Chain A
């Protein structure tokens, strides 16, 4: 029976560090403190490094992921009810970011000056949400790619790593091993939670932005964002 919390990978690390430690003791008695002993100590370090590597997300993180997923389902229902499907705009006032969502294209002039949750435009509505990403989170950053990488990988720990390229007015982002799935509607309208992070960061650091493309697989999420101003 395996000890609790030890899987195959970490078990291998434990075995490597124990074998390395035992071999280090033997080589010390036979050859003294030399290259062979040092190599065995090196194996102990590698083994311990493997043992210290978590193979699943921490329990609390998984619970937060579950909560976020349920919250996003509610937003998905709201978008479904309002028939909002594809047009988004991220607009920053310097500190906060507002996300405007609509069924058909709209201009920045149509939404400026309105602080309502729902903005009426003929028979349609534009939904105005407040992004959870604020300037205080990325104050030390000047480049969107490094800020997105910091937020997703280090600060929120909701993805393994980020590949990001900024080219003219477009920013191409690939998030590897995302941990938070988004409902289809939220995914399509604004790229899910990751799209919110990406769009908010770009609007804070580069000006108004929109999420143009978002496609998700089990291994990655690919997002293309565009600067509008």
Chain B
């Protein structure tokens, strides 16, 4: 039996590889699309497996901040360009 922490990390790495392969095969070249999906997947894995962390989950917070920056940029580009 494997601890849920290891299952979470393994599942997440599988998701990263799968996302890149699928988006690439769909000719998706926008960098922010990849990172946004990585963020979403990280949060999904975190919610389902609830892996333990050494300290608070700074990585999740950083990814969410980056995600919001990308979304803001997209909105800006749609509205003002």
- In the assembled complex, the CB of B81 is this many whole angstroms from the nearest CB of chain A, namely 18
| Residue in chain A with minimal CB distance to B13 | A46
Say whether chain B's binding surface is mostly helix, strand, loop, or mixed: helix
Flag if B1 contacts A176 (CB, 8 Å): yes
* Contact digits for A37-73, partner B, Cβ 8 Å, 1 yes 0 no: 1110111011011111110000000000000000000
Flag if A160 contacts B3 (CB, 8 Å): yes
Number of interface residues of A (CB under 8 A): 29
Which residues on the A side are within 8 Å of B57 (C-beta)?
52
Which of the residues A39, A41, A53, A177 comes within 8 Å of B1, measured between beta carbons?
A177
Flag if A161 contacts B4 (CB, 8 Å): yes
* Contact digits for B1-42, partner A, Cβ 8 Å, 1 yes 0 no: 101111011001100110110011000110100110010001
Q: Does B79 contact A (CB under 8 A)?
A: no
Q: How far is the CA of A37 from the CA of B24 in the complex (A)?
A: 12
Flag if A54 contacts B52 (CB, 8 Å): yes
Max count, chain A CB within 10 A of own CB: residue among B8, B13, B24, B55: B13
- In the assembled complex, the CB of A216 is this many whole angstroms from the nearest CB of chain B, namely 14
- In the assembled complex, the CB of A177 is this many whole angstroms from the nearest CB of chain B, namely 6
Q: Which 7 A-B pairs have the closest CB atoms?
A: A38-B34, A42-B16, A33-B31, A39-B20, A46-B13, A35-B24, A53-B5
Spell out A's residues near B (CB within 8 Å).
9, 13, 33-35, 37-39, 41-43, 45-46, 48-54, 153-154, 157, 160-161, 176-177, 219-220
